[in-house]
Chain A
């Protein structure tokens, strides 16, 4: 008799047990999914950790770009100026090595996924007529769209 009773499951406890087991499985599954997500996020974070630093350095590169656009004639041929150009190039190369790439803008079709319009001007409709500030990607993701001026089609009616 004693032994029989030991082997019989406690009936009132069975539904509880099922529910607990179910909750346990759920909790385990939640945890597994959480671990996967954290792992994914860790990889993402590592890849894009430098984003804010790069975004803060880009304005310096912009300023150098602007400076070299307007080198006075009498300075243009000095080797000293060449040295500065090399520094400019070195900064670009350093950023490139970190996965930073330039976004094509001038003459391209205006594309809001990579360009941000800051103005309109006469020119072919929907084309980038002028690049106000270069855009950049980091590992393929747009970290700063190119600021562009878009043609309004005033000289060349579309359609």
Chain B
């Protein structure tokens, strides 16, 4: 089935997005950009250009370069706003026989939907090239204040571009979707959208997955471009004071200053000050002139403060129209690139008396939300398979009561995982598998899901038998745990149904507990690890003394025996540091044995090297597992 796309058809820029693997993603243009300028042009040679290419030639061809077409969509020629825009736009706007607007480009008249269709067509073509499949179904966004004829004009534009417009949705609704607010229950949302050239504030009421626009307000000529202009003007003024030259007279220099101003504005969103350095910006009789001006965030805030204040009036109006107070708003969303400016965020937070949400890329929120809506509409047709995740970590208890994780929390199910363990004592006849659930490092602090015993293990030194423990969770959350002795093929298993698991409240409590006890638990786990290390070292040392004792000098032998006793006695106590210290001493002495054995018998394996001391937390437990010899070494090294 063909996928649906979501399109943010903006005044200055347009974007297209689609659902991929359950998440909305922006589709880049053929130029590799995520944004497409909403600009269309016909060159002197009659060639039609859209997007970046059209924008780049605007200066040389202003009367045939159409931008801000969104301002004319579905409007009558006599509309006061059209009359106002006509004075600012360099291209010709005429009246159609039915009273609508038309624009003139390349000596030909076009209706606004036709121009918008060219932008949509470009987005569609680029998306098809990128996705490698045909794109037809689309959700297109419009401002909440658009009336029926403006919405119809947008729909027409889609149809002209060869798109099947499955729905027109409001931009603030799309933003709310991008923020995942549809999953919440009833709430009142304010969407503050400050883009490049327009400002919109919308108040929405949400309930049961529906969005109702309570009120809208805004300023159709307020945006990031005004901010850039303020900074550009200030830079030109400062330079004039310093060098006595007005850069506004020099188009090339002015272009560089404008770019630098925009860059400085962006940098000041994260930094406290920035340096605007434009060497050789101009020259006079005395030689070249350089611009080098430091702009601090507070100075920039002075320059643009009144622009930000201008946006608060419409916010107040929107609340008044909806008969609400700021305290009644549950969520405030920031949309539009200009909301990255810290001053905007502060003022909005002040007005609504709450921190606004800003986690979704403000340039992309609308398009992403439209893509989600497209996915939802398509989802009605296709059966949706919901994949669940395990809310808590699942594992088993290993030596010393340590919880060893097999399936970490938030793993998507169905899934399975197996790991090889071994015995903790020589000739251990059976292992007990204790299945646990939870985030705490110690098994005893987690919830027990079940236990079973695998017996019939043939007599063997500790660490030799290979016991494979396998966890499997099916799509219904039913957990099966099996343990298999790879030597004998004996197997035992247990099935734990989801009902024996935890309620939502329990999950939350356990997660909170884990966080609260993190430090405490780590200490406990470290203590056990030290004890396991010590236990292993003593075992190894005694083994070496049994096998190679005769080759060890008597004084060394005595020293080692004394140190083994010291480790043992330290293990009786609770002092982890003491255990570590005695282990360290014994380890060092053991290395001397290696040296002395080698001296007597060149070529023989180092006795102390067979299993380097220092067991990890996953050490073999009494009746619990440990990997085979090779794995033992690997794990023991991570002290």
Q: Which residues of B contact A113 (CB under 8 A)?
A: 53
Interface residue B54 (Cβ < 8 Å from any Cβ of A):
yes
Docked CA distance A113–B59 (Å): 15
CB distance from B39 to the nearest CB of A (A): 11
Residue from A69, A112, A133, A152 within 8 A of B57 (CB atoms): A112
Q: Which residues of B contact A126 (CB under 8 A)?
A: 44-45
Docked CA distance A125–B43 (Å): 12
> Taking A117-B59, A132-B252, A132-B255 as contacts, is the C-beta distance between A142 and B31 under 8 angstroms?
yes
Interface residue B498 (Cβ < 8 Å from any Cβ of A):
no
Residue from B53, B54, B60, B385 within 8 A of A23 (CB atoms): B385
Interface residue A116 (Cβ < 8 Å from any Cβ of B):
yes
Interface residue B21 (Cβ < 8 Å from any Cβ of A):
yes
In the complex, the answer to whether A119 meets B59 with C-beta atoms within 8 Å is: yes
Docked CA distance A135–B59 (Å): 17
Q: Which residues of A contact B346 (CB under 8 A)?
A: none
Interface residue B637 (Cβ < 8 Å from any Cβ of A):
no
Docked CA distance A72–B385 (Å): 73
Docked CA distance A145–B32 (Å): 13
In the complex, the answer to whether B279 meets A66 with C-beta atoms within 8 Å is: yes
Chain A: residues with Cβ within 8 Å of the partner, total of 35
In the complex, the answer to whether A34 meets B56 with C-beta atoms within 8 Å is: no
Which range contains the number of B residues in contact with the other chain? 20 to 34
In the complex, the answer to whether A110 meets B57 with C-beta atoms within 8 Å is: yes
Which residue of chain A has its CB nearest to the CB of B290? A63
In the complex, the answer to whether A23 meets B383 with C-beta atoms within 8 Å is: yes
> Taking A23-B385, A34-B21, A119-B252 as contacts, is the C-beta distance between A110 and B60 under 8 angstroms?
yes
CB distance from B250 to the nearest CB of A (A): 10
19 more A-B residue pairs beyond the given contacts A72-B287, A118-B59, with a C-beta to C-beta distance below 8 A: A26-B382, A27-B385, A30-B21, A34-B20, A34-B21, A37-B20, A63-B278, A66-B279, A66-B280, A70-B280, A112-B49, A118-B251, A118-B252, A119-B59, A120-B59, A125-B44, A132-B255, A145-B56, A150-B60
Considering only residues 263-303 of chain B, those with a C-beta below 8 Å from chain A are 278-280, 283, 287-288
Which residue of chain A has its CB nearest to the CB of B251? A119
Interface residue A67 (Cβ < 8 Å from any Cβ of B):
yes
> Taking A118-B251, A132-B252 as contacts, is the C-beta distance between A63 and B280 under 8 angstroms?
yes
Q: Which residues of A contact B44 (CB under 8 A)?
A: 125-126, 158
Interface residue B58 (Cβ < 8 Å from any Cβ of A):
yes
Which residue of chain A has its CB nearest to the CB of B43? A112
Sample (21) of A-B pairs whose CB atoms are under 8 Å apart? A23-B383, A23-B385, A34-B20, A34-B21, A66-B279, A67-B279, A72-B287, A110-B57, A112-B52, A112-B53, A116-B55, A116-B56, A117-B57, A117-B59, A118-B251, A118-B252, A126-B45, A132-B252, A141-B31, A147-B252, A147-B255
Chain A binding surface SS class: mixed
CB distance from A113 to the nearest CB of B (A): 6
Q: Which residues of B contact A5 (CB under 8 A)?
A: none
Docked CA distance A147–B258 (Å): 14
> Taking A112-B49, A118-B251 as contacts, is the C-beta distance between A19 and B383 under 8 angstroms?
yes
Q: B-facing mask of A124-144, CB < 8 A → 1, else 0? A: 011000001100000001100
Q: Which residues of B contact A141 (CB under 8 A)?
A: 31-32
**A110, A112, A113, A141 pick with most chain B CB within 10 angstroms:** A112
Q: Which residues of A contact B385 (CB under 8 A)?
A: 23, 27
CB distance from A91 to the nearest CB of B (A): 15
Q: Which residues of B contact A30 (CB under 8 A)?
A: 21
Which residue of chain B has its CB nearest to the CB of A70? B288
CB distance from B621 to the nearest CB of A (A): 39
In the complex, the answer to whether B279 meets A115 with C-beta atoms within 8 Å is: no
In the complex, the answer to whether B32 meets A117 with C-beta atoms within 8 Å is: no
Q: Which residues of A contact B383 (CB under 8 A)?
A: 19, 23
Q: Which residues of B contact A110 (CB under 8 A)?
A: 57, 60
CB distance from A75 to the nearest CB of B (A): 11
In the complex, the answer to whether A48 meets B287 with C-beta atoms within 8 Å is: no
In the complex, the answer to whether A70 meets B283 with C-beta atoms within 8 Å is: yes
Q: Which residues of B contact A117 (CB under 8 A)?
A: 56-60
Which residue of chain A has its CB nearest to the CB of B283? A70
Residue from B53, B60, B256, B279 within 8 A of A152 (CB atoms): B60
CB distance from A81 to the nearest CB of B (A): 15
Q: Which residues of B contact A133 (CB under 8 A)?
A: 256
